[in-house]
Structure 1
Amino acid sequence: MQQPVTDSGYSWFRLLLTLLVATVANAGMWAIIVIMPAVEAEFATTRADAALPYTLTMIGFALGNFVIGRAVDRFGVTLSLICAALAIVAGLGLAILSHSIAMLSLAQLLVGFASAVGFGPLIADISHWFVRRRGIAVALVASGNYLSGAIWPMVLAGILQDSGWRAVYAVMAVVTLVCVIPLSLALRRQVPEDARDAAQLASSLNAQSSGLSPRTLQYLLGLAGIGCCVAMSMPQVHIVSLCVGLGFGPAVGAQMLSLMLLGGVGSRIVSGLLADRLGGVRTLLIGSILQCIALFLYLPAGSMVSLYMVSLIFGLSQGGIVPSYALIVREYMPAKEAGARVGFVLMATILGMALGGWMSGQIYDLTGSYQWAFINGIVWNGLNIAIMIWLLNRSRPRAPRMAVQPL
């Protein structure tokens, strides 16, 4: 009897390896948040300028999701991972040598670009190996980004306190080389063409129900992604700086960030299970509404205990949003273009994170408070909710129910 290609034992083993790669490859995205107060103090700059390296990181991360996603479509995931790992190490090395905000920002642009291999490209790759359980598979791989954010800030905070932020980056460079390249060699197997063709047929049927072309839907999802992630960026990017400003210290902020992101991991897993029943559009709408409620809860929070609680609530609320975009792409768009299409939409979400991180810093500098920054996020979140409601009313997305394709 022939073994199935999708939803097989190998599919789950590949998912585990992919999750490990994502947890390491995404570290550069989160380390810059941990070192932001140290960078602000070393270079004697404003809060907005100190957030500039993060903004450049996210711009690079956004572009990397699209460019590396296209590379995965053409060259496969293994070669893309190897090249990206080497680029991450090069970017971290340049950051270590930085003696200005401008030089650090340029180095972070490269780090962000290469680190993107651990997000959209891996999500697109694993989506080919699952049909009936695609929602949970995509959610688990996307959780590698949050696991990275939950684990690395805690690990790196001690190194930062004892040896400075440059030592933090040296450790990250070594870990990336030792882990990512060997694991990438275990992901060389490709999905057979007949399985891709079957997925192509299913996405075409869903696309017809929406009445939107793939390009139009792609741009619409990109706009929605910017809206939700401008909102998402306020707590994720500025929680450490918020805690420093309130006198709680960077270590407490790093703990809140880790708690938030661990909650996001749980949220992504639950959302993945939900998406296998409801589809990507409904799952995304639920997550976006819950995120908006959580942002409102930050407004009255000011004590350490309340911020811990709201940060956990926020993580539990919004974790499933970004993976849902990838599911919508796979439900409605050509399977053979998954890397590029998923990469474009996730690029838009990350640009929203970059814009929101910078915008929140500017609002803080103008007002001396993060209250208006949270309100700004709530308004952008409303844009995302409106788009998802419109899309849901226009079409009736279906969770995939295709038969597993044999070899």
Structure 2
Amino acid sequence: MEKNLASSGDVSSGVWTAETSAGTEASSYRWVALFIVWAAFLLSYIDRVAWSTVAAPVGASLGLEVALLGAFVTAFYVGYVLANVVGGILTDLLGGRTMLTLALLPLGVFTFCFGFTHSLMTGIVIQLAMGFAAGADYSAGMKIIPAWFTRDRGRAMGIYTTATSLAVIIANAVVPSFSAQHGWSNTFRMLGVVTFAWGFVALLLLKNRPANDSQPARNSVKEMLGLLRNRNLIILAIAGCGGLWATVGFGAWGNALMTRQYGIAPVVAGSIIASFGIGAMIAKPTLGWISDLPGVSRKLMSILCLLAFVVTLLVFGNCSTTAQFYLVAPILGAFSFGYLPVLMAQVSDASGKRLAGASAGWTNAVWQMGSAVSPLAVGHVYGNTHSFMLALLTLAVGPLVGVCAMFFVSKHIARE
């Protein structure tokens, strides 16, 4: 009997040891997984905002009218929106690692090819292809993160979304000066090579989920389509669309507006937008971490961030000197990106991590509709009025709509 008890104890101890070992491995590796998807998001975002940093000087050399400077950005986001719907579903079917690889490799190729652009139509076609290739990177990351992070998911989302802010900083700090020295074409070719290489890193090193995760390997199409009837997801999609209308619209036009309206040099304008990115870098992980705290309402945090975004856009619209822009830009950056990790955590909570890819894909597709339209809308307003303030007012409409939408989100979304 003692022998049996000892055997039983050995088995129990063995199971405990295996589970503990698996838990320790998962706890350590999750930061590796987060870094891989974060770096992929960083490269993808640098590829998409690089044009905005050189649009004013390069657009003139290509013979583009002022109102058409945002056409390449819009083309990218049209492809991005289309790919998000398909990419989100495929992410849940094929896994985050596969889809991230399938996003990065062709994105690298098309970004490299954009360096050979010599006409408006060629640039639009290539940017459309770039957007379509990059469409799955977001849903892949949103699939990987909930698999590895649970209680501290908001913090992980905040860290993940710092990639977009750092991308703004890097793009504005590096791309204009590198383009001035080596040519804008070589800049895009270099970005293409780096993006392509990271696709292989994701393929070789990324793991979809912990070994002890027992969730089903495949979700049914019926379950994914059911997300389209989820009231909270619908409202969060509308709110995010309004927010990104202004976030991406400002990213596409911030440099060009300051250069055109006040004669600020592209390198200086890039430095101002880089400070805008620094504000976002600080705000996103901080707000994500706060949203994880017990008793904190992610709904209320989203409303306050979007409302502050509206106010700071109007303040920025009243600026006219370099000193004023430097002062307001970091604050604007904090609110123009700070709402994102809080919304993303709510999307993941509303769908559950098993359907995180599909829910992230279709909500982000709606979000990016604002991204696709706003650069052209702002270009049209500014091209016809040459009013800096009216351009900023056009952007402010988006987060104001987001504030109104968030009032209808349920207060009781379970945190999975």
TM tier relative to shorter chain: 0.7 to 0.9
Q: How well do the aligned residues superpose, as a CA RMSD in angstroms?
A: 2.4
Instruction: Please state if 1:227 is matched with 2:242.
Output: yes
SS state at 2:412 partner: coil
- Report matched runs for 1:6-405 at 5 Å: 8-191=27-210, 194=213, 196=215, 214-245=229-260, 246-277=262-293, 278-391=296-409, 394-400=410-416
Partners of 2:107 and 2:134 within 8 A in 1: yes
Distance of 1:264 and 1:270 partners within structure 2: 10
Distance of 1:111 and 1:27 partners within structure 2: 12
1:312 positional shift: 0.8
* Closer, same or farther: CA 368–10 of 1 in aligned 2, 3 Å: same
1:178 positional shift: 2.6
Partners of 1:89 and 1:177 within 8 A in 2: yes
Partners of 2:84 and 2:135 within 8 A in 1: yes
AA paired with 1:288? L
1:39 positional shift: 3.4
Distance of 2:48 and 2:291 partners within structure 1: 27
Partner of 1:404: none
AA paired with 1:242? L
Encode CA deviations 1:307-338: one digit per residue, 9 max, x unaligned: 11111110112322222222112211143221
1:18 positional shift: 2.4
Distance of 1:119 and 1:279 partners within structure 2: 25
Distance of 2:84 and 2:54 partners within structure 1: 24
Which has the greater radius of gyration? 2
AA paired with 2:323? V
Partners of 2:95 and 2:208 within 8 A in 1: no
SS state at 1:8 partner: helix
Distance of 1:216 and 1:390 partners within structure 2: 9
* Closer, same or farther: CA 255–116 of 1 in aligned 2, 3 Å: farther
Distance of 1:5 and 1:383 partners within structure 2: 44
AA paired with 2:41? A
SS state at 1:135 partner: helix
The alignment covers a number of residue pairs equal to: 386
Distance of 2:318 and 2:55 partners within structure 1: 25
1:298 positional shift: 1.2
* Closer, same or farther: CA 15–281 of 1 in aligned 2, 3 Å: same
Partners of 1:76 and 1:188 within 8 A in 2: no
1:367 positional shift: 0.3
Which consecutive residues of structure 1, in runs of 5 or more, have no partner in the other structure?
205-211, 401-407
Encode CA deviations 1:71-91: one digit per residue, 9 max, x unaligned: 221112222222222211231
AA paired with 1:262? I
* Closer, same or farther: CA 255–355 of 1 in aligned 2, 3 Å: same
After alignment, is 358-367 or 12-21 more displaced?
Answer: 12-21
1:54 positional shift: 0.8
SS state at 2:144 partner: helix
SS state at 1:323 partner: helix
Which consecutive residues of structure 2, in runs of 5 or more, have no partner in the other structure?
1-15
After alignment, is 322-331 or 125-134 more displaced?
Answer: 322-331
* Closer, same or farther: CA 232–18 of 1 in aligned 2, 3 Å: closer
Distance of 1:149 and 1:119 partners within structure 2: 17
Distance of 1:116 and 1:32 partners within structure 2: 18
After alignment, is 363-372 or 34-43 more displaced?
Answer: 34-43
Partners of 1:322 and 1:349 within 8 A in 2: no
Scaled by the length of structure 1, what TM-score is found?
0.87
Partners of 2:280 and 2:337 within 8 A in 1: yes
* Closer, same or farther: CA 116–256 of 1 in aligned 2, 3 Å: farther
Distance of 1:213 and 1:234 partners within structure 2: 27
1:359 positional shift: 0.7
Partners of 1:281 and 1:397 within 8 A in 2: no
1:157 positional shift: 1.8
Encode CA deviations 1:33-88: one digit per residue, 9 max, x unaligned: 11211332122222221210011112222333332222221112222222222211
Distance of 1:384 and 1:374 partners within structure 2: 16
Distance of 2:279 and 2:366 partners within structure 1: 23
Encode CA deviations 1:110-148: one digit per residue, 9 max, x unaligned: 112223444332133212211110000111112112222
AA paired with 1:378? A
Distance of 1:117 and 1:213 partners within structure 2: 18
Distance of 2:101 and 2:353 partners within structure 1: 24
Distance of 1:149 and 1:123 partners within structure 2: 21
